[in-house]
Amino acid sequence: MTEISPIPEKQVVVDRRVLAGYDNYFAAQRAVDGLSDAGFPVEHVAIVGSDLKLEETVTGRMTNGRAALTGAGSGVIFGAVVGAFLGLFTSTTLSFLVLVIWAALWGAVTGAAFGFVNHFFTDGKRDFASRSSIVAGRYDVLVAASHLDHARAVLEGGPHPADTMVVDPPPPAGPYGAGTGGPTPQRATASRSADGARTE
């Protein structure tokens, strides 16, 4: 028997235009929040980040002692959660608390041991702690083409925070990323007026 695969639904493509570009996410977020406060239908808005990169922020030096302390903290939380779950089957409040405390203590000891051993065997190849995040070099606020003029009027009439930096004024028309994955560039055109003067 031949199995017939379902026909995929046609994907709806929304024509979005660049309203404004910012150098940080919070500025783009404030712009969308301003549109929302003005009553603009923000379901037609999107924030698109480009020039993505991995940013790793070093938070401090990592030693065997700090690794054990970090492991103990994680172990306390895990042990307390397990103890609270098992404590649901006890008959008294005292036994519930005792079970949670003992589970948290055992979790702390086990977590500290695992943290110490894990860092000890790295042989000093990573003696620092860090956190990683994905950040973008530019954040574009996109609006559906049918609502672009309305959004532009609202945005231009609203307050602009002092720490907001607008990057590369967006083109006034054209779909976002048509064939290039980014804003459609605006080409300057030149013509000559009746008296021969060159205008752009």
Of 58 and 181, more confident: 58
The model carries a pTM of 0.51
Rounded mean pLDDT, 86-113: 90
Highest-scoring range by mean pLDDT, 119-128, 140-149, 171-180:
140-149
10-61 pLDDT, tens digit per residue, is 555 678 888 888 988 999 999 999 999 888 888 999 999 988 888 888 888 8
Tokens 């995929």: give the residue.
8
108: confidence class by pLDDT, cuts 50, 70, 90: very high
Beta bridge partners of 22: 139, 166
Beta bridge partners of 131: 57
> Over the chain, what is the mean pLDDT?
77
Q: How far is CA 108 from CA 79, 116, 128, 161, 175, in A?
A: 7, 12, 22, 46, 56
Rounded mean pLDDT, 80-109: 90
120: confidence class by pLDDT, cuts 50, 70, 90: confident
Beta carbons of 49 and 146 less than 8 angstroms apart: no
Quick one: pLDDT at residue 159?
54
State the Cα–Cα distance between residues 61 and 31, nearest whole angstrom. Answer: 38
Q: Given a cut of 50, is residue 106 above it in pLDDT?
A: yes
